[in-house]
Amino acid sequence: MRVSNKDAKEELEKRSFQVKNAVIYTVSGMEPDDVQDQEGISNLENMLKNKINGFLESGNVVHVYTTEKIVQ
């Protein structure tokens, strides 16, 4: 993830449990077809960015990067 400032980075590290929770909840509500193409991955990244920004107080997430994809 890329964040807007150093304070946001530190806060994000402290809230890693909330980030993991947001990822799990978001992905669990999706079907494999939802992330098969670039548009689907981009949509997932934007959903996660919006959810995480909802609980950050010291800045915001500028971009979420997908670094691995495993669809079962």
The per-residue pLDDT for 42 is: 97
Helix H, strand E, coil C: the string for 18-55 is: HHHHHHHHHHHCCCHHHHCCHHHHHHHHHHHHHHHHCC
Number of domains in the chain: 1
Q: Could you list the residue range(s) of the whole structural domain that residue 16 is in?
A: 2-63
Question: pTM for the whole thing?
Answer: 0.89
**b/e burial code for range 32-64 (CB count within 10 A of at least 16 → b):** eeebeeeeeeeebbebbbebbeeebeebbbeeb
Confidence of residue 2 (pLDDT cuts 50, 70, 90): very high
Report the pLDDT value the prediction gives residue 28, as an integer from 0 to 100.
Answer: 94
Residue 25 included in any domain: yes
Identify whether 32 is part of a domain: yes
Q: Identify residue 54 by its one-letter amino acid code.
A: G
Classify residue 68: in a domain, yes or no: no
What is the per-residue pLDDT across 5-60, written as a single tens digit (0 to 9) for each?
Answer: 999 999 999 999 999 999 999 999 999 999 999 999 999 999 999 999 999 999 99
Residue 71 domain-assigned (yes or no): no
Question: What pLDDT score was predicted for residue 70?
Answer: 82
